[in-house]
Chains A and B, each alone.
Chain A
């Protein structure tokens, strides 16, 4: 992360720089016709989309190169899922088959930030990781803006269940 795009995804008020107040709670209309106050989360969707398309593919290529792992030898690419659209575009840009990068978490659970990664593993793979060892490529990206990735080889997992509370 370099902090240069902190305004792309943030809640302007509520911290030491701009404490919440009656003024920050005032709801105003923006240029696109959305109503929000400085206490609300604001996302510049185009900036975030372009950031993900620009930074994530080279990060993954570099990770695989440094680990000397071929793209096709990765069993699953489990990435953070802000939405289906962005993830499918990312799979296409990386030339990874969409079945290796499931994008069904938001439609079932919403965008739970970094938690979408373990949710994607448990929801999609069920007991598969308990029966065989797998190679995962994990990646997270978002607020900051920040981006990071991890190559993970798992032995047979003890459990891989989604527990509904």
Chain B
């Protein structure tokens, strides 16, 4: 998961992301961004997420934890 925040920042079209940042606060936050996160989780971490999973994780750190928990 070392590169996760770099990968996420790329999807969110920003230079970097912090643990406590709200996902919905990013300017480019929309359904295609959510789909890109679902694709990232599947491709790089072999985890299947739903749009509701992503939305309910709320923050960058929440999303990170969600993917970690599903990998176990």
Chain A positions near chain B (C-beta within 8 angstroms) = 32, 44-47, 49-50, 53-54, 85, 89, 92-93
Chain B positions near chain A (C-beta within 8 angstroms) = 31-32, 34-36, 38-39, 42-43, 48-52
Query: Count of A-B contacts with CB under 8 A?
Result: 31
A49 to B34, CA, bound (A): 11
Contacts of A47 in B (CB 8 A): 50
Q: Is the interface of A mostly helix, strand, loop or mixed?
A: helix
* Contact A49 B38, beta carbon cutoff 8 Å: yes
For A89, give its contact among B32, B43, B49, B52 (CB under 8 Å).
B43
Contacts of B34 in A (CB 8 A): 46
A46 to B48, CA, bound (A): 10
Excluding A32-B31, A46-B51, 16 further A-B contacts by CB distance (< 8 Å) are: A45-B31, A45-B35, A45-B51, A46-B34, A46-B35, A46-B38, A46-B50, A49-B38, A50-B42, A50-B50, A53-B42, A54-B48, A85-B39, A89-B39, A89-B43, A93-B43
